[in-house]
Structure 1
Amino acid sequence: MTFISTRNTAPAASLSQAIAAGLAPDGGLYVPERMPAPRRLAPGATLADTAATLLQPFFAGDGLAPELATICGEAFDFPAPLQPLATPGDHVLELFHGPTAAFKDFGARFLAACLARLRRGAERPLTILVATSGDTGAAVAAAFHRQPGLRVVVLYPDGRVSPRQAHQLGCFGDNVSALRVAGSFDDCQAMVKQALGDAGLQAQVPLSSANSISLGRLLPQTSYYAHAALDHHARHGRPLDFVIPTGNLGNALAAIIARELGVPIGRIVLATNANRVLPEYFDGGDYAPRASVATIANAMDVGAPSNFERLRWLYDGDDAKLRAAFRSHAVDDTAIRQTIAERYRRYGEVFCPHTAAAVHVLGDLRERGVEGDWSVVATAHPAKFESVVEPLIGRALEVPPALAALLARPAHADPLPPDYRALKERLLRD
């Protein structure tokens, strides 16, 4: 299979080329030249086996194809359980059982496994440049830590991630550097995109991306949706609907692609925080990216979601068709806090702020009489947001062992202004 840019002015690329590049030369995002035919998938397989079967068409004819099963085995060695919630018909897909307690672990580990193979024998190291609004950077750092021939530079908005997220970002050292940017996530993301598109810089410092703009991150995220929906359909004979917290749209797009591949997924609803670019678009307004607003669900503090380009491509640029296919709902900080406190008081359930936004949206859907089997997507463990969650539930949260081990390490991040020239100088110097 070959891959093209969403902007249609870059040469077609193989999967390996698209993964290694991260961003297409014309600034667009790589997408398959055509979507594969729906897959025949069987329930009951392991998550790794489901991933290998689902992703096989994307790898067809590529040098990585013979190693796909092994790559999936390395990446998907922790669970993604679908758990019932207290309210009948409602579920939660827990994606926080990996080494950094966030869903980003799945895609980051898959990408690292791919790039480690692609870079074997390379003369110069490849720098993985990452903008993060909270969880991506730690997942990428963990996945690439001490990988030979690879280094990671993480940019995050200073003061706009949780304290534990910030500690994770700076605790690795070795081949991982953390830069705390005096700006927003959108500033970080813009600098990363500019660096990836800078041919002069690339000639001196080979770069790639591990944000959700990377195919190596996006494609494997389809797998946990397929695994959960297939098993649910086998048990109940009904499709599974999803409410997905979203910022940069990568995780939601993965569910959409899984559905396109024939997975028994029903409706997909997007939950955002107070950053309303997507809800306003799906309500009929123009797509109007703007500066992000800081919230307690900081990983969704995105004012210019990159994967919107891919979503539009998937619907042939037809805004009417796209708006008819999805709904998006904004949830402010007050509602997120109320949801965390109320669900704990009534049912003993504990959610991170991002997951709570999805739980709130699902509650609204149920109040309006929407039926079906629904799952919210739990994108991070609540213990990563103890300063928000613990005061609302009135008790301390148990920290998962893997997260506790990271928090016990010393951490350091260097300051960086929101200025591309400063980033370029840093990359050339290191």
Structure 2
Amino acid sequence: MKLYNLKDESQSVDFETAVKTGLGRKQGLFFPKQLLPLNNIEALLKMDVHQRNYEILKPFVGENISDEQLSQIIQKTFAFPAKLKNVTKNEYCLELFHGPTLAFKDFGANFMANCLQSFVDEKPITILTATSGDTGAAVAHAFHGLKNIQVVILFPKGKISELQQKMFTTLGNNIHTVAVEGSFDDCQQLVKQSFDQAELVETIGLNSANSINISRLLAQVCYYFDAFAQLPVEQRNEVVVAVPSGNFGNLCAGIIAKTLGLPVKRFIASTNVNDTVPRYLQTGQWSPKETIATISNAMDVSKPNNWPRIEYLMDSDQFDSNALTGGAVDEDKTAATMRELYKHGYISEPHAAVAYSGLHESLQPGETGIFLGTAHPAKFKSTVEEILQLEIPLPEELAKCSVKDDLSTEMTADFSKLENYLYSLKK
């Protein structure tokens, strides 16, 4: 399957090139021109998870990855489950935090790392990525210690939880972390600027592991099918999915799943007060505001990178825009929703609560709702404990890194400084 640059249609590449390149010319995202629906969704949902994911991913990667390689990649990538947890009679949380860094990003980051390893090449690679929270840990752990790969992770200084930060700033070795004085959008802009420098890209073998990399996105498509497979058959006809949305990769993956034939009735893009997309869906005006720091910090994004892919699917009539609504949830409502979920016996962190709020208010009689749980509550230990007035234990993964030293470098949001830093890693 060819992947096209959404900003320059003359640039078309195969999957391997797209994974190695990350971004296309003019900072364009790679994406298929046409998504072909999968055959017999009912049969797919009866398969075991590895067989099903093979069938979903094969059309995208078949030119570059052999059947045997793909099977091995899938076994390694999906070595931990996505669990559908019943919260109320007709509302479920799809828990995506049972991987090594306790966040949904583990699926995409591991798939990308495993794919890159299968593309045998001795040329060094420098992975540059920005994180608003969980991407950093997932990417760092997926690529830690891999030969010929340096990883540089930019994050907004003081704007992610301490435990989130410790999961990727304590590893060292080939993992380099930079605390940027600014917002996530500033970090994201620095990444984009880097890809505009042809000499830099060539010299250090620049690549990105943000959800702008198509491999990250494709792995996430799979767990939407997994959610349906775990639903009782009688509840699969009127399914509404609420996605906590920041950079909009997760929602994009869900919309791809629907375009491939998964019978999702509609999606809800739930954001915090950084509500560029919900306002756009209501008014048709794209007007990002300055990013505001919130307790759901992974969604503190005003200029979401993946929105052009969703818009392309709508503009090309592959996805009906009427099947997408958006809603914004403020801090008080987020906290109140966490307390509401706790009354149902479910401990949630802020991001899942934002999604549940949008779902619960929108759900109609006869519909079944799924909201995505993107991170383990312990990653937001102090916030969760303060709001719910309880103590939650640290999982082993967090307990280990919490006592280690933070190895980050601090930097202003100045591209020339980042450029010098990246070149220095080559020496």
Structure 1 position 53, deviation (Å): 0.9
Question: 2:286 maps to what in 1?
Answer: 287
Question: 2:389 maps to what in 1?
Answer: 394
What RMSD in Å do the two structures reach over aligned CA positions? 1.8
Q: 2:354 aligns with which of 342, 353, 357?
A: 357
1:425, 1:277 → 2: CA distance? 33
Structure 1 position 52, deviation (Å): 1.1
8 Å contact from structure 1 (residues 39, 54) kept in 2: no
TM-score (norm 2): 0.95
**Residue 88 in 1 paired to residue 86 in 2?**
no
Question: 2:337 maps to what in 1?
Answer: 339
1:115, 1:64 → 2: CA distance? 14
1:13, 1:64 → 2: CA distance? 18
Structure 1 position 216, deviation (Å): 0.8
Q: Which amino acid aligns with 1:61?
A: E
1:304, 1:10 → 2: CA distance? 25
2:67, 2:7 → 1: CA distance? 27
Question: 1:130 maps to what in 2?
Answer: 129
Structure 2 vs 1, CA of residues 424 and 39 (structure 1 numbering), >3 Å: closer, same or farther? farther
Secondary structure, aligned partner of 2:27:
coil
Secondary structure, aligned partner of 1:11:
strand
8 Å contact from structure 1 (residues 243, 376) kept in 2: yes
1:197, 1:114 → 2: CA distance? 24
Secondary structure, aligned partner of 1:12:
strand
Question: 2:140 maps to what in 1?
Answer: 141
Q: Which moves more between the two structures, 279-288 or 36-45?
A: 36-45
Secondary structure, aligned partner of 1:112:
helix
Which whole-Å deviations, capped at 9, do the CAs of 1:359-417 have from their partners, x for residues lacking one? 11122124xx4540111100001100012110111121122222323334332211011
8 Å contact from structure 1 (residues 23, 30) kept in 2: yes
Structure 2 vs 1, CA of residues 253 and 194 (structure 1 numbering), >3 Å: closer, same or farther? same
Question: 1:105 maps to what in 2?
Answer: 106
Q: Which amino acid aligns with 1:349?
A: Y
How do 1:24-423 residues align onto structure 2 when only pairs under 5 Å count? 24-41=24-41, 42-63=44-65, 66-85=68-87, 87-118=88-119, 120-122=120-122, 124-232=123-231, 234=233, 236-316=235-315, 323-344=321-342, 346-366=343-363, 369-423=364-418
Q: Which moves more between the two structures, 265-274 or 62-71?
A: 62-71
Structure 2 vs 1, CA of residues 65 and 127 (structure 1 numbering), >3 Å: closer, same or farther? farther
Q: Which amino acid aligns with 1:180?
A: A
Question: 1:426 maps to what in 2?
Answer: 421
8 Å contact from structure 2 (residues 38, 56) kept in 1: no
Q: Which amino acid aligns with 1:107?
A: G
1:371, 1:408 → 2: CA distance? 49
2:371, 2:66 → 1: CA distance? 33
Structure 1 position 196, deviation (Å): 1.8
Structure 2 vs 1, CA of residues 322 and 159 (structure 1 numbering), >3 Å: closer, same or farther? farther
2:360, 2:238 → 1: CA distance? 19
Secondary structure, aligned partner of 2:25:
coil
Structure 1 position 30, deviation (Å): 0.2
Which whole-Å deviations, capped at 9, do the CAs of 1:196-246 have from their partners, x for residues lacking one? 221011121111111010101000100010111134263645353211101
1:174, 1:5 → 2: CA distance? 34
Q: Which amino acid aligns with 2:17?
A: Q
8 Å contact from structure 2 (residues 100, 106) kept in 1: yes
2:145, 2:106 → 1: CA distance? 16
2:56, 2:238 → 1: CA distance? 18
Structure 1 position 317, deviation (Å): 6.2
**Residue 6 in 1 paired to residue 6 in 2?**
yes
Q: Which amino acid aligns with 1:364?
A: E
8 Å contact from structure 2 (residues 334, 354) kept in 1: yes
Structure 2 vs 1, CA of residues 371 and 283 (structure 1 numbering), >3 Å: closer, same or farther? farther
Q: Which amino acid aligns with 1:114?
A: C
Structure 1 position 44, deviation (Å): 3.6
1:183, 1:10 → 2: CA distance? 35
Structure 1 position 342, deviation (Å): 3.0
Which whole-Å deviations, capped at 9, do the CAs of 1:11-51 have from their partners, x for residues lacking one? 21011000110001221100013212333342243322221
2:321, 2:250 → 1: CA distance? 18
* Structure 1: runs of 5+ lacking an equivalent: none
Structure 2 vs 1, CA of residues 371 and 292 (structure 1 numbering), >3 Å: closer, same or farther? farther
* Structure 2: runs of 5+ lacking an equivalent: none
1:235, 1:77 → 2: CA distance? 28
Q: Which amino acid aligns with 1:70?
A: Q
Q: Which amino acid aligns with 2:48?
A: T
Structure 1 position 127, deviation (Å): 0.7
1:334, 1:10 → 2: CA distance? 48
What's the % identity of the aligned pairs? Answer: 36
1:270, 1:405 → 2: CA distance? 34
2:59, 2:233 → 1: CA distance? 24
Q: Which moves more between the two structures, 306-315 or 399-408?
A: 399-408
1:235, 1:71 → 2: CA distance? 33
TM-score (norm 1): 0.94
Q: Which moves more between the two structures, 130-139 or 235-244?
A: 235-244
Secondary structure, aligned partner of 1:26:
helix
8 Å contact from structure 1 (residues 355, 377) kept in 2: yes
8 Å contact from structure 1 (residues 146, 175) kept in 2: yes
